């Protein structure tokens, strides 16, 4: 458990604050919806899906978020521009949380940004992501649309070790961020597999020590690539996943990608417990809690 000497940057995106010392603010939870293979999607090209089931998933997440005090961001994943726009419109209408504009296709992400340009939804959108393949076309689109917040991912096959990810961030990512006019830099340090979550956690710590930006990772990605955990099944998978998700919190992660939104029922509880422990120790380290809805107040 630690306290960073460098001043920590805190952002407000929509109705969510993130950043600060470990445990000072509740960890922001990011769950994914409409991902490839999500059973509620009937046509991923057109973005057709079971609206009743999607509403129920969003409602259940809202309830557990209110229960633990952990704020949420919804990761809206799409295969096409048409789907991205339809998904984002639906989620924006059924929750107040910030939304990640997420697709493997930059063209889909950019089309969504242009669709919501100059609308109230725009202030809730977070571009996902600025990575080593970030193009001049994307850069121009982010400036054109006035995007304020973006996930920045300093991770590649040539930048696996923490020191290499930090170098990639400082030498390539930060200049790209500045050119694109991004004011709210949210760092996703990347995860390869379960053992590498330790390297991701170390990178989170170094990003916050050197720059103070809110940082975290999608350690949930490692869970679903593990044959061992898939074979272990419930409840062993959830028990192991709780450890995997909460490790980065101990070194200051400001948010957690917890995987499919259906995982909210157990992922929020695990991360809220870690928040409470970190916050309690924060009193010894000389910083106070921010917000009356902190998990420490909810679970004790």
* Segment 16-32 mean pLDDT: 96
Is the confidence at residue 160, as pLDDT, over 80? yes
pLDDT tens for each residue of 37-59: 999 999 999 999 999 999 999 99
The overall average pLDDT reported for the chain is: 96
Answer for the pair 172, 130: CB distance below 8 angstroms, yes or no: no
pLDDT band at 290 (very low <50, low <70, confident <90, very high): confident
Q: What is the predicted pLDDT for the residue at 288?
A: 82
Task: Give the pLDDT band (50/70/90) at residue 155.
Answer: very high
Write down the pLDDT at residue 283.
84
* CA count, 13 A, side-chain hemisphere, 290: 16
With a cut of 90, say whether residue 75 has pLDDT above it. yes
**Token pair of 153 as six digits:** 């991912």
Task: Give residue 223's pLDDT.
Answer: 92
Average pLDDT over residues 180-189: 98
The whole-number average pLDDT for the span 15-34 is 96
- Give the start-to-end residue ranges of the domains of the chain: 10-288
Q: Tell me the mean pLDDT in the region 120-131.
A: 97
Q: Is the pLDDT of residue 73 over 90?
A: yes
pLDDT above 80 for 291: no
What was the pLDDT predicted at 49?
Answer: 98
Residue pair 114/145 in contact by the 8 Å Cβ criterion: yes
Residue 1 scores a pLDDT above 80: no
Average pLDDT of 56-79?
98
**Looking at residues 139-167, what average pLDDT do you find?**
97
Q: How far, in Å, CA of 56 to CA of 47, rounded?
A: 18
Residue 259 has phi, psi (to 5 degrees) of 95, -155
% of the chain beyond a pLDDT of 90: 93
Give me the pLDDT at residue 289, please.
83
**300 has a pLDDT exceeding 80:** no
Whether the Cβ atoms of residue 78 and residue 34 lie closer than 8 Å to each other: yes
pLDDT tops 90 at residue 174: yes
pLDDT of 77 higher than 90: yes
DSSP 3-state of 276: helix
pLDDT digits (tens, 9 = 90+) for 234-286: 999 999 999 999 999 999 999 999 999 999 999 999 999 999 999 999 888 98
Q: CA 144, CA 137: separation in Å to the nearest integer? A: 10
Architecture of domain 10-288: Alpha-Beta Barrel (3.20)
Q: What is the mean pLDDT of residues 151-159?
A: 95
Instruction: Please tell me the predicted confidence (pLDDT) of residue 287.
Output: 85
Query: In which element (H, E) is residue 17 found?
Result: strand 16-19
Q: Strand (E) positions, 45-131?
A: 48-49, 72-78, 99-103, 125-130
Crossing angle between the packed helical segments 264-285 and 51-68, to the nearest 10 degrees: 20
- What is residue 70's DSSP assignment? -
Q: Which residue has the tokens 């309690």?
A: 280
* Residue 138 binned pLDDT confidence (cut-offs 50, 70, 90): very high
Do 187 and 154 meet the contact criterion of CB atoms below 8 Å apart?
A: yes
Contact 98, 14 (CB under 8 A): yes
Report the pLDDT averaged over residues 133-148. Answer: 97
Q: Is the pLDDT of residue 228 over 80?
A: yes
């Amino acid at each position: 458990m630690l306290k960073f000497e460098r001043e920590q940057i805190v952002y407000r995106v929509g109705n969510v604050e993130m950043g600060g010392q470990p445990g000072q603010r509740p960890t922001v939870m990011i769950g994914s919806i409409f991902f490839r293979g999500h059973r509620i999607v009937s046509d991923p090209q057109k973005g057709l899906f079971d609206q009743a089931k999607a509403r129920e998933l969003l409602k259940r997440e809202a309830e557990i978020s209110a229960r633990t005090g952990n704020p949420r961001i919804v990761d809206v994943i799409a295969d096409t521009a048409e789907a991205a726009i339809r998904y984002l419109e639906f989620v924006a209408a059924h929750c107040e949380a910030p939304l990640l504009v997420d697709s493997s296709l930059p063209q889909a992400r950019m089309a969504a940004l242009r669709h919501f340009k100059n609308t109230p939804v725009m202030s809730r959108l977070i571009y996902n992501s600025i990575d080593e393949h970030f193009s001049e076309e994307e850069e121009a689109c982010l400036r054109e649309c006035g995007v304020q917040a973006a996930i920045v991912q300093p991770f590649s096959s040539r930048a696996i070790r923490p020191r290499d990810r930090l170098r990639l961030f400082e030498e390539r990512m930060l200049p790209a961020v500045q050119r694109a006019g991004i004011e709210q830099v949210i760092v996703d340090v990347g995860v390869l597999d379960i053992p590498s979550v330790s390297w991701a956690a170390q990178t989170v710590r170094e990003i916050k020590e050197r720059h103070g930006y809110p940082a975290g990772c999608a350690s949930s990605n490692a869970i679903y690539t593990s044959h061992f955990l898939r074979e272990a099944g419930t409840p062993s998978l959830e028990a192991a996943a709780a450890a995997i998700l909460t490790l980065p919190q101990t070194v200051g992660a400001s948010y957690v990608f917890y995987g499919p939104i259906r995982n909210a029922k157990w992922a929020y509880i695990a991360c809220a417990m870690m928040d409470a422990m970190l916050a309690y120790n924060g009193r010894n380290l000389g910083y106070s809690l921010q917000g009356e809805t902190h998990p420490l107040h909810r679970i004790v």
